[in-house]
Amino acid sequence: MSIISTKNLTKTYIDGDVETKVLRGVTFNIKRGEFVAVMGPSGSGKSTLLHVLGFLDRHTDGTYLFEDKTIDDYTPEEIAHVRNKRMGFVFQAFNLLARTTVLENVKLPLLYSKIPESEWDALAQKAIISVGLSHRANYDTSQLSGGERQRVAIARALVNNPEVLFADEPTGNLDSKSGEAVIDILQRLNEESGHTVILITHEIHTAEHARRIIRILDGQIASDEVVEKQRRPGDSKLK
């Protein structure tokens, strides 16, 4: 069953008399539990696509279904709930709160949930453990390395146990070793916990961790293929 479905999806930005077409008739389906990399050069439209899929922006034309509903099928309150509960987001810039601990950052999405406050610490600790940072739970985020900060961002995205994890260039600010560790975590979350993962990247060695690679060029799908030899967690190269 597809959790995400697009058909002839377009996105056009208008600035005065200037129209910029960023997405041009994008069509694909993503099933629950898939790990999909959306790959393309800068300016290809891949981050815009993620924003549309994550209900962070509206498409201009075509159809987008998330769990068989379009964005117009949801009220603004329901959209906020879907983003908070059904989706998790990891961005290149980490977007952590300054002068707060790892635990406090990871608990943040729970402030907007219906989960009783008495359960927040346990849920946050579980997410922190899942990314291997239990020994850093009470550290200020300013004391962490870049790779550790991104792992905090992943834990925060996981705390509500979302159906889909969107990761937009999550290794872009990291060295190669830290980046590999972060992608390994995403792959394990997909394989062991069944999270649907949609990874935006311009790096082939990062995309090869996914089971499927959708390549975008000039706002259109250039190819959509299954990876025959998926890179395994911890591997430095394809087997």
pLDDT per position in the chain (239 positions), as tens?
A: 799 999 999 999 999 999 999 999 999 999 999 999 999 999 999 999 999 999 999 999 999 999 999 999 999 999 999 999 999 999 988 999 988 999 999 999 999 888 999 999 999 999 999 999 999 999 999 999 999 999 999 999 999 999 999 999 999 889 999 999 999 999 999 999 899 999 999 999 899 999 999 999 999 999 999 987 676 666 644 33
Per-domain residue ranges of the chain: 35-55+75-226
- CATH T-level topology, domain 35-55+75-226: Rossmann fold (3.40.50)
Please provide residue 161's backbone torsions phi and psi, each rounded to the nearest 5 degrees. 50, 60
- Could you give the CA distance from residue 146 to residue 83 in angstroms, rounded to a whole number? 25
C-alpha neighbours within 13 Å on the C-beta side of residue 103 = 12
In DSSP notation, 48-90 reads: HHHHHHTTSS--SEEEEEETTB-GGGS-HHHHHHIIIIIEEEE
Strands (E), the chain: 2-15, 18-31, 35-39, 61-66, 87-91, 164-168, 196-201, 212-217, 220-226
Its pTM stands at 0.91
State whether residue 2 is helix, strand or coil.
strand
> Is the distance from CB of 115 to CB of 123 less than 8 angstroms?
yes
How far is it, in rounded angstroms, from Cα 8 to Cα 178? 37
Phi (first) and psi of residue 117, to 5 degrees: -60, -30
